[in-house]
Amino acid sequence: MRIVILLLFSMVSFTQIHGQCRLNLKGKVLDYHNKTVLAGASITIYGTTISVISDSGGNYEFTALCPGKIELEIAHPECNTTFLPINIEGNTELDITLEHHLELLEGVTLFGADKEPHATSVTSASVDKVVLEKYASGSLGDALKELSGVSSLTTGSTIVKPVIQGLNGSRIVLITNEVRLQDQEWGSEHAPNVDLNATDRITVVKGSGALKYGGDAIGGVVIALPKPYKQKDTLTGSTLASASSNGRGGVLTTHLEKGFANGLGIRAQATYKRFGDFRAPDYFLNNTGTEQIGFTLGGGINKFTYGGELFYSFLKNELGILRAADFGNVTDLVAAIDSPIPPLTGPFSYTIAAPRQQVTHHLVKAKGFYRFPGLGKLTAQYAFQFNDRQEFDNRRGGRNSIPVVDLELTSHQLDLDLIIDTKEKITWNIGINGYAQENFASPDTGVRRIIPDYKRLGLGAYAGMEYAISDDWNFDVGTRLDFSQIDAQKFYRTSFWEARSYNLDFGNTVVEDFGTQLLTNPVFDFVNFSLVAGLQHQLSKTMEVSFNYGLASRPPNPAELFSEGLNQSSLAFELGDLRIDSENSNKFSLNIAYRSKDDKFGLSVLPYINLVSDFIALEPTGITTTTRGSFQVFEYVQNDAQFFGVDVDLDYHFLNSWDYTSSFSYLRGTDVTRDEPVINIPPPNWTNTLAYSNPTLRNLKLALKSELHLEQTRFPDNNFTALIVENNTQTSVLVDVSTPPPAYHLLHLTSSIDLSKTPGNIVLGFGVDNILNTQYRQYLNRFRLFADELGRNFSLNLKINY
């Protein structure tokens, strides 16, 4: 703690007080056409990090400004970014008008974005660039935990997947740069291939709200978008370097953009990240290093009446898998589960050895739009994606360089979308999506393929409407119909085929009988219907209430149907089931939001009920031993489930420089078919942050964050017995893989300060995660049975804008 205090003291002592900088600038952000207020607009003093967000009444305010010329950059999700030069000579009041049209989040504007004048009923929340930069060394799942109701499902310390109100995996649709990400998201150990440093803002829609991108988003939609191209003749860039003590690594990311007054823009961005073994409070987590290389290139034109974009991104991740979770026999596996300390620990290393995974992802996008007078805007977009996943294990005979899993996923997507927004009170949105996908599982691995070769086709159509009934009432409704087909080529062991009675139900899929093996060609067709409807009411100037109903339907993914073998990245033997059918979700939510007239206090309460028929869960069922070692067995099962939860958010601004924010989430999940709790439900958690900011002290910012995670007391009993060797005698023991870890509390510190006289040009940030070096384990970590979570971490960030 002495180090923390000394660093903070040094930063404060470096500041200068400018007494003359006491001028204010305030006003409203309005729609150019009808002068309705625009909430959620970001107003930034160009070339700095000083930024404010317009409130529900469209109000914005800057304080402690110095006399002189400044330039405002005004951005809004449904507007072109605008630049406005201002000469500050005294306290100034200025209203800003924007050309309000649907440009960026058009997939959620109808069902999910917070926008005026036609506010929708679906709840969404966003993480902006300032917050994302704090997680420059982390992952998408780490950053999204800033939002209430969002947690993470992890595999070790490096593989993090978002969980929205208890749901994860294929139930969450991830959109990156307006393209639905196709990267084998079915595995819990398959982290999303998204570079946070190439993203300007992330919006989370809680529930099946963005029908444009699919009706299968039972859990929600995550939309990661870059910054819009500037309609200004300018050349800008930034470089961010971040270093961390835990893992002894960091990240370097840089971005360069050229804008032209005619609407043309080009940009390039690159990221390099490397870490060695991470550390729990008392030992190193061996073989948990990571290395990431990524870059993006894009260019386009962005006019009100027309526009287009070409975009390419590349991302390559290499991740080590915790060595202490890989065992050669049942006795060692059971001993590791029962031991408080991993049996395999050692010194720090940057080496990424087997078991490990290497994933490469390419994305190409071509988009164009045109606004027809008197009608609306038509958008056409094509996207190509290629995902290459390789997983490596310790193999005999010097074959460690040969992957045990080698999957190549090729995807083509075509989207057509029409927004009819020429009427003042009503907006229509209609469109179609189509995709063709092929997965190639290389036969050269020398082991049984856990996921087979398959082809997947899909076609969907959607239509929806927003209607402003009055100034206080808004109504939205949308429907979607999807057809999908999966055509697989898979070998089954004859004994396994008959043990599951597949010979009775799927005998007609057998193509050839090889005696001990069968070549099959299962083909499944799915038709899924989705619906969203909601009502939003402005009770007063300070309070609004919205109700939303969502019906979502998701076909099973390839892993749920076909898995049969060792999933190397999670070190688990997984079994799918050909009888698994579509999940169907009926979700009801009520959002009550209050915002004081002075905008200093806000409170939001979101209770919800999600009734999911044929809910698919991956559950532990035992232990198996193969030629590659001993592993837990997990099977996909399908039952009806109910989810009841509430998310609460509170914020309070006081004494001009202080902010207090608090969020609480509670969720109860029940398997109603078996009358028992659903596995892997996040425990109740409560987060509180106290922040201080002072623009006159070189824009000094300090924040102390508290995280309280209670113990999950509702969990299914998935314990099993295993035969181990003890004192040269074979013994049957009960293996506890169900009991969640105890509650824990964490403290974190973040701070930043401007080093240059020009605000925002050079910003230094310092932070400490897990200040008290607390020893804990997270219930939703697949490796919680083998090791603790990360210990204390010091981080230092330096951002240079130019």
- Segments making up each domain of the chain, as ranges: 2-98, 124-223, 224-801
pLDDT for residue 21: 79
Best CA proximity match to 797, nearest among 747, 746, 750: 750
Residues of the chain with pLDDT under 50: 1-19, 101-119
Q: How far is CA 243 from CA 274, 319, 701, in A?
A: 10, 19, 19
Give 408-430 as a DSSP string. Answer: EEEEEEEEEEEEE--SSSEEEEE
Best CA proximity match to 99, nearest among 80, 117, 114, 84: 80
Rounded Cα distance, 367 and 555, in Å: 28
Helix (H) or strand (E) holding 505: helix 502-505
Q: Choose the CATH number for 124-223 among 3.40.50.300, 2.170.130.10, 2.60.120.620, 2.60.120.10.
A: 2.170.130.10
User: Residue 99, exposed/middle/buried by CB under 10 A (0-12, 13-18, 19+)?
Assistant: middle
Give the contacts of 121 (CB within 8 A, at least 6 positions apart).
474, 476, 533, 534, 535, 536, 546, 547, 548, 591
Rounded Cα distance, 550 and 478, in Å: 9
Q: Computed from CA positions of residues 604, 609, 614, 620, in that sequence, does the dihedral angle turn out positive or negative? A: positive
**Model's pTM, two decimal places?**
0.85
Rounded Cα distance, 294 and 271, in Å: 5
pLDDT for residue 16: 40
Rounded Cα distance, 321 and 352, in Å: 8
**Sequence letter at residue 481:** L
* Structural contact between residues 194 and 132, judged by C-beta atoms closer than 8 angstroms: no
Q: How far is CA 171 from CA 163, 186, 477, 767, in A?
A: 9, 9, 21, 34
pLDDT for residue 576: 92
- 3-state SS class at 3: helix
Give the contacts of 527 (CB within 8 A, at least 6 positions apart).
481, 482, 483
Residue whose tokens read 């009427």: 423
Rounded Cα distance, 30 and 99, in Å: 9
Phi then psi for residue 140, to 5 deg, are -60, -45
Rounded Cα distance, 726 and 424, in Å: 77
H helices of 279-409, in order, are 330-338
End-to-end Cα, the chain, rounded Å: 34
Are both 2-98 and 224-801 of the same fold? no
Give the contacts of 99 (CB within 8 A, at least 6 positions apart).
32, 79, 80, 82, 304
587 - beta bridge partners? Answer: 550, 610
For the stretch 63-77, pLDDT in tens is 888 888 888 888 886
Best CA proximity match to 718, nearest among 572, 595, 553, 593: 572
Helices and strands (H and E) in the chain: how many: 8, 46
473 - beta bridge partners? Answer: 537
pLDDT for residue 38: 86
Rounded Cα distance, 626 and 538, in Å: 62
Topology at the third CATH level for domain 224-801: Maltoporin; Chain A (2.40.170)
Best CA proximity match to 182, nearest among 362, 385, 349: 385
The dihedral region occupied by 698, where left means phi > 0, alpha psi between -120 and 50, and beta the remainder, is left
The pair of three-digit structure tokens given for residue 159, joined into one six-digit string: 């593989």
How many other C-beta atoms lie within 10 A of the C-beta of residue 140? 25
**Sequence letter at residue 664:** F
122 - beta bridge partners? Answer: none
Best CA proximity match to 306, nearest among 101, 500, 463, 518: 101
- 3-state SS class at 711: coil
Domain 2-98 has CATH 3.40.50.720: no
pLDDT for residue 49: 75
